[in-house]
Amino acid sequence: MAVIPSTASRIPSIPHDKHLYKERAAIECTFNLLKRFRRFATRYEKAARNYAAMVALTCALSWLRI
């Protein structure tokens, strides 16, 4: 199911879930913030434990805006 709303001038409008759209937008913005870190974006860490630690570190750095 597409979560993208139609334009205001479209008649008839395509129904979409506004709550789901807001959640999707928040997730996309979070991933864009995290992709600033090359190590996270390219997944240098092959072990799941190390990658999870890297995700936590990049989230903390993004939260601190470093």
Which pLDDT band holds residue 2 (cuts at 50, 70, 90)?
low
Supply the pTM of this predicted model.
0.55
- Name the strand (E) or helix (H) holding 24: helix 18-34
Quote the CA–CA distance of 62 and 49 in Å, as a whole number. Answer: 20
Number of helices (H), then strands (E), in the chain = 3, 0
Task: Indicate if the alpha-carbon torsion angle 24, 27, 31, 32 is positive or negative.
Answer: positive
pLDDT value for 66: 65
| pLDDT tens digits, one per residue of 28-66 | 888 888 888 888 788 888 899 998 998 898 888 888 876
Three-point CA angle 33, 38, 44, nearest 5° = 125
